[in-house]
Structure 1
Amino acid sequence: MTSLAPAADAAPAIGPGRPAPDFTLPDTHGTPVHLADLRGQTTLVVFYPFAFSGICTSELCELRDNIEDFETVGVRLLAVSTDPVFTLKAWQQAEGFGFDLLSDFWPHGAVARSFGVFDDESGHALRGSFLIDADGIVRWRVLSPRGQSRDLEGYRQALAEI
């Protein structure tokens, strides 16, 4: 299931049925999180433009407030932006996020680019979410246009299908 096309200036996003690009990114403590190490469990990778911005804060707070929807079905949530680790740590502390915030700061946007959700012109990740199964295959994705948040109900529908 896919909704919305990527921005015109973005490379095509990785679609369902394709292997997810592997990556290693630091969390808010600087600890590397390696996607391949999460094989054996379903993972939701949520790219967003900027910490502390209005829509991004609203979206991630909604995920935080509904984290049991993901945990109940064994889904690990990883939220990724091009912000530096220290910014993400301050934002995680301010908002009480109980899931991993990962920094795709350097090489700047490399992971977002590998998923097809990096905007070279503005230098940040676009809003794209990828549900990756235990074998590392993308099973669902959603891409939202600039200025539009993702719908929690879309996540719930995708979770119901796994």
Structure 2
Amino acid sequence: MPEIGDIAPDFTLKETFDTSVTLSDYRGKQNVLLFFHPFSYTEICEGEICELRDDARYERDDLVILNVACDAWPIRQAYKEQLGANGVFLADFWPHGVASKAYGVFDEEWGTCMRGTFLIDMEGVIREKTVNMFIGDRRDQSNYLDSLS
């Protein structure tokens, strides 16, 4: 699992059928809140995503939220639309869990990612991280942007 101060592992994931997103494309342009969650359409995940959506502190030109789960891209996009969520919704579906494994948040038993959040600055360095090793534990999202203030 990468630590605070490490260069963030790069990845490319599907957003839509014909669109992929590469983490390193944001270097020098925007800070990244990399937000892993286990499943779309579940109560805790929905609550966390809506909390980010409703918090004005995340509406910044210098920040993008990359919301990642191991669901397929059509599910991710439908979920984003249903919630009216901000950010980019990515599918860590195939190769299965490639990004969540790189960040040490893939749960082999459940076949999905755990709740992990990594704040990555414009230089690609991890500045904050929160990882809940139990899928059912909600994250404290209050301090994500502290290191950017």
Q: Considering the TM-score relative to the shorter chain, is it more than 0.5?
A: yes
Indicate the residue corresponding to 1:139 in structure 2: 127
- The residue type paired with residue 150 of structure 1 is R
Contact 1:48 1:125 in 2 (8 A): yes
Indicate the residue corresponding to 1:161 in structure 2: 147
- The residue type paired with residue 46 of structure 2 is T
- Tell me whether 1:125 sits opposite 2:113 in the alignment: yes
CA RMSD of aligned residues (A): 1.4
Aligned counterpart in structure 2 of residue 47 of structure 1, from 17, 36, 40: 36
Q: Whose RCO is larger (CA < 8 A, sep 6+)?
A: 1
- Tell me whether 1:56 sits opposite 2:45 in the alignment: yes
Q: Measure the CA separation in 2 of the matches of 1:28 and 1:60.
A: 19
Q: Measure the CA separation in 1 of the matches of 2:100 and 2:2.
A: 10
- The residue type paired with residue 137 of structure 2 is Q
- The Cα shift of 1:71 comes to 2.8
**Farther-moved stretch of structure 1 (111-120 vs 68-77):** 68-77
Closer, same or farther in 2 for the Cα pair 1:28/1:56, shift >3 Å?
A: farther
TM-score by length of 2: 0.92
Number of positions where the alignment pairs a residue of Structure 1 with one of Structure 2: 146
Indicate the residue corresponding to 1:3 in structure 2: none
SS in 1 for 2:131: strand
Deviation string for 1:32-70 (max 9, x for gaps)?
A: 11111100121110000000011001100111111x312
Structure 1 alignment gaps of length 5 or more? 1-12
Percent identity of equivalent pairs: 40
Indicate the residue corresponding to 1:151 in structure 2: 140
Q: Measure the CA separation in 2 of the matches of 1:79 and 1:30.
A: 18
- The Cα shift of 1:28 comes to 4.1
- The residue type paired with residue 49 of structure 1 is P
Aligned counterpart in structure 2 of residue 23 of structure 1, from 4, 7, 11: 11
Deviation string for 1:59-90 (max 9, x for gaps)?
A: 00111111x31233721110000000111111
- The Cα shift of 1:139 comes to 0.9
**Farther-moved stretch of structure 1 (99-108 vs 22-31):** 22-31
Indicate the residue corresponding to 2:97 in structure 1: 109
In the TM superposition, 1:68-79 aligns within 5 A as: 68-72=56-60, 74-79=62-67
Contact 1:28 1:101 in 2 (8 A): no
